[in-house]
Each structure stands twice: as structure tokens, then as C-alpha cells.
Amino acid sequence: MIKKLESGKYKIRVSVFDPKKGYAVNRERTVSGNLAQAKEKEVELRSQLKHSCSFKGFGSVSTFSEAIELYRERLRKKGNLSVHHSRRFDLVQKELGHLALNAVPDHFKQYLLYLERTPPEGRAVRGPASLNRRIEIVRAVFNHLVRMEILDKNPISENRFPKLKEKPRDRYLNQDEQLRLLNAIHEHRPYIEPIVRYMLRIPCRISELTEAKRDQYNSFNGTIYIPDSKAGIPIYKPVLEMKPYFDSVPAECPYLFYWIDDKKNYRKFNNIRKPFQFCVKKAGLNNLRVHDLRHIAATELYESGIPEREIMDVAGWKTPMLSTYRHKDSLSTAQKLNRRCNDKSTINLRKAKVLEGI
């Protein structure tokens, strides 16, 4: 910024982001001369400030891994780096972090094609949502480099890397299928039964529960406090009929959901996908993922008459998401209102019969 103070005198102010400090550093100078000379001084002052901040363009960030760490640090200092997001960064860093910064754009296109065509071991082909998450992360990292003035523009543009159209999954289990699944778990992998039972009742992300500590449970209020949700908002989840389970968690166990190793140590779950899929096959079910339990629980709450605002609170949604998470063949709003009206009429009829008998 150049501001004219008086004839032949200008005030120069430059600002440069310092990656080590995590914020912008400012410098001001008052110079004499004409406007052209003031502009030359501005360029010189900016160059000096960049050098003092260890800023050397591409030289200061040579690999994509270093770029990811810079962006992580920014999110961490703003308090926006959740466990969920950190794991996604870990995945992208493992797959692309070794690349030189200027090699990422061309390699990224080939990388997305490979992911789209090559399914992970023992799993179905990755869907658009999985690819979009990677695009979002890589684009955000490069946006940060532009913000820090390391790059002039973001090479991961929306024109070159458009987001793929996502089709929400719509997997539901009726009561018989839920019972078959729970029976298979009880017989073959009983240590995941509590966490699966809870996810069938309350919409949860698996990471919210695998990271949950015993002190997040409030026995008096019957709630589990989730401080670090994907949406960045705290959540209080009810325990419902599973209160006896939570009350029975051993005092020496630090986790709400746990398994016991061969040495009788309490361990937290890193992932329940493999034992869950084993039990899905034993139950004779197909195309069912752990995250589908979140959709099923949201549908169950909706059909039981819980208002969407309350479902949003326990699920951790900032905006209404039932149009995405509710099973499409579940009861419509009109059907719910009719059922609620019929239930009320039945109650009134019972009250009338009781009064007649008095």
C-alpha cells in the first residue's frame, strides 16, 4: 500500500505472511521522491520482508508434504483441525506428499483416474465422494500457498479439476435385517456389538465414538459429549437404553468403546470395518458399510417422530441433512402426521373408555 502524505513524500506499508509465526508481518516506511520511486521502494521493502520471513517462493516449500504441513499449522492455530480432518490430511500426505510442488497438478490428474478405476483391496470401487474429498484437500492446500504469496494462482482450478457429481447412498436395514446383523456380531465379533448397537440408534461418525473417552460420558444427564466433530461444533449425544452399558465400563478403562487384548489391556478401536464386514457376510447381507448405520439411525429417529432440529443436534449437522441421510422409502411427512394423528385419536379413545368405566 502506498499513501501520499504530502508533495514528494509517501508512506509505504507492506504485509507478508510468515509461515513460522502463522500470521502476517507488517512493515512501514516513509520515503521521499515521486510515485515511481515510492513503488520501487515498496518492491524492495516487500523483498526484504519476504527474505526475513524465510520466504523464497518455491524454494521455501519444495514438496507437497511441506505444503500440507503449512496448511495444517494454519488450521491448528485457528482451532479448525479436527481429528477427522487430520486423518484425511494424513492419507493425502502419504499418497502425494513425496511429490515436488510443481509436479503435483499433472500427477494429480493421473492419480484421480487411478483411484477411480482401482478399488481398494477387499472393497468396492471408490465413489465420487471419496475422490471429491481429495480434490477439496489438495485445492485448499494450494489456496493457502496463494494466500501466502508462494504461488501466483492455484493450479488445482475448478475448471481443470471439477468436483464429481455425488449420489447419496441409500442403504437401509429393516428390523429383521438389523436383528440378523446383531446376532451375527454377537456370535462372531461380540467386542464390536456395543458400538454397532449405539450407531444403529444415534447418528454418529465412527471416529466420534472410537475417540470417545470415558470422562466424556455423563451418567447423571445420560449424555456423551463429543467436542471434536467434523462440523466443528460440540455435540451431546443421548445414551438411551444403553445407559447400563456405559455405567458398566470399568473405571480403569479410559475409553467408552473398547476391546481387550491378550494381555488384558483395554484398547481403543482404530477401525471396525474388517470385523463389521465379516459379520455383514455372516448375516447374509450385502452392500452395507459402517457409515450406513448413520443413515439408518437418522431414518429411525425421523420415523419415530423426532423433529429434524433435534436430529440435527444429536447428529452434529449445521444445516438440515435429512434429505440426504433419510432412507427414501421411509415415511413421508404426511404419513408421519397421519400416524401421529391416529395415535392421538387412539389415546383419546382409551381415555374415553376409562372415563366410561368410572
Residue with more model confidence, 355 or 49: 49
- DSSP, collapsed to helix, strand or coil, labels residue 161 as coil
Burial class of residue 238, CB neighbours in 10 A (0-12, 13-18, 19+): middle
33-42, 44-53, 334-343: which range is least confident on average? 334-343
Residue with more model confidence, 119 or 93: 93
Closest CA to 236 of 325, 310, 326, 319: 310
Q: Please determine, for residue 166, whether its predicted confidence score (pLDDT) is greater than 60.
A: yes
Stretch 311-327: mean pLDDT: 69
pLDDT in tens, 87-101: 888 989 998 999 988
The answer to whether the pTM exceeds 0.95 is no
pLDDT in tens, 201-239: 999 988 889 989 999 999 999 999 998 766 667 899 999
- The C-alpha atoms of residue 132 and residue 166 are separated, in whole angstroms, by 9
